[in-house]
């Protein structure tokens, strides 16, 4: 098929997206597809082979059979590009508008999990109306250390570790430079464990992998610099905890209405498993955790890219089967 790979984007994860998208394009080419490289500049312009690209309602994109968004953060992973592709009537890889928006916004995501009683770390919304005094009151209930984060970014951008209540206000303001919505979370105990998800109507969960960061915490450099982290597969957790990780990953994937791909992250301490987040467009290079976990399960990278395009066509057909 002819597949348009969308990469770049307007968020602070632009460079990561360029790398992920280039890897996806190569994987699709190896799987036998024709690849159309669509680069989204930081200012938002779309181009293919140096020429401007426009999307018209119900008119498709460059004559492609499907689109493969490999965009991280706002403007790509939040449902906005998915909405544009819906309007253009283009099958696309990954979750729909609603699921993308829910999963990118950590506050919304955690409230959805809380409403269904799923286990997770404590958190609060650092809403400006409460001010520093209100934040400190909530923080004291959670205990230290804490993590102040932009609610709708990934790749650890804008995150600060809070070791004392005196540093809470500056950490919140640092996060607010990236996003007006800020979440403050309790520290997750135990190992950081990740599980890859693949599929549409019958998704599968990979064996869990354990992240061992060669730093104080799993920050941007640990994620993307060579030697910044080690991925251990399988994770050094009990069989019962491993099964619980996979069970919860599939439950969260379904609960949020996700499709195609996702990576669910956890904290595992003994037999206690806490959900951290679900990424609907995780890092996607051949060495990224998402692809490596599935490769360990017997799915090589080109096959993974090929399967995802197939799931996009399936999802599109399902959506069009309903009467609006």
Catalytic residue among 73, 279, 288, 306: 279
225 is catalytic: no
Burial of residue 298 (CB within 10 Å: 0-12, 13-18, 19+) is exposed
* Cβ–Cβ < 8 Å for 158, 182: no
Residue 6, SS3 per DSSP: strand
Q: Can 105 be counted among the known catalytic residues?
A: no
Catalytic hit among 8, 9, 12, 13: 13
Judge residue 183's burial from the number of C-beta atoms within 10 Å of its C-beta, 0-12 exposed, 13-18 middle, 19 or more buried: buried
Catalytic residue, chosen from 77, 105, 209, 224, is 224
CA distance 308 to 198: 8
Q: Where are the beta strands (DSSP E) in 180-271?
A: 182-186, 191-199, 204-205, 209-213, 229-232, 260-269
Which residue of the set 152, 244, 263, 307 is catalytic? 263
Counting Cβ atoms within 10 Å, is residue 315 exposed (0-12), middle (13-18) or buried (19+)?
buried
Q: DSSP code of 317?
A: H
Q: Which residue of the set 277, 290, 306, 307 is catalytic?
A: 277
13 is known as an active-site residue: yes
Active site residue 263: yes
Tokens found for residue 32: 């036998």
- The catalytic residue among 78, 185, 194, 265 is 265
- Check if 214 is active-site: no
Cite the active site residues. 13, 155, 224, 263, 265, 277, 279, 283
């Amino acid at each position: 098929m002819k597949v348009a790979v969308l990469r770049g984007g307007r968020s602070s994860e632009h460079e990561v997206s360029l790398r992920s998208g280039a890897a996806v394009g190569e994987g699709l080419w190896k799987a036998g597809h024709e690849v159309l490289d669509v680069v989204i500049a930081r200012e938002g312009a779309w181009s293919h082979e140096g020429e401007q690209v426009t999307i018209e309602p119900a008119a498709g994109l460059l004559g492609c059979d499907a689109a493969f968004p490999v965009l991280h953060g706002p403007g790509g992973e939040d449902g906005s590009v998915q909405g544009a592709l819906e309007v253009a009537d283009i099958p696309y890889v990954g979750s729909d508008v609603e699921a993308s928006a829910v999963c990118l916004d950590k506050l919304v995501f955690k409230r959805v999990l809380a409403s269904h009683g799923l286990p997770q770390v404590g958190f609060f919304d650092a809403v400006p109306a409460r001010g520093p005094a209100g934040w400190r009151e909530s923080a004291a209930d959670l205990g230290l250390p804490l993590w102040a984060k932009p609610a709708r970014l990934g790749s650890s951008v804008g995150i600060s570790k809070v070791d004392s209540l005196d540093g809470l206000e500056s950490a919140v303001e640092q996060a607010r430079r990236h996003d007006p919505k800020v979440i403050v979370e309790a520290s997750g105990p135990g190992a950081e464990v990740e599980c890859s998800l693949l599929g549409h109507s019958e998704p599968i969960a990979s064996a869990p992998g354990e992240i061992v960061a060669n730093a104080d915490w799993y920050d941007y450099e640990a994620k993307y610099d060579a030697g910044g982290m080690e991925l251990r597969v399988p994770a050094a957790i009990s069989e019962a905890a491993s099964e619980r990780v996979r069970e919860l990953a599939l439950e969260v994937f379904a609960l949020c209405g996700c499709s195609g791909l996702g990576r669910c992250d956890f904290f595992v301490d003994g037999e206690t498993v806490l959900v951290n987040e679900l990424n609907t467009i995780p890092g996607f290079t051949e060495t990224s955790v998402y692809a490596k976990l599935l490769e360990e399960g017997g799915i090589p990278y080109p096959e993974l890219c090929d399967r995802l395009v197939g799931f996009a066509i399936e999802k599109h057909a399902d959506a069009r089967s309903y009467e609006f």
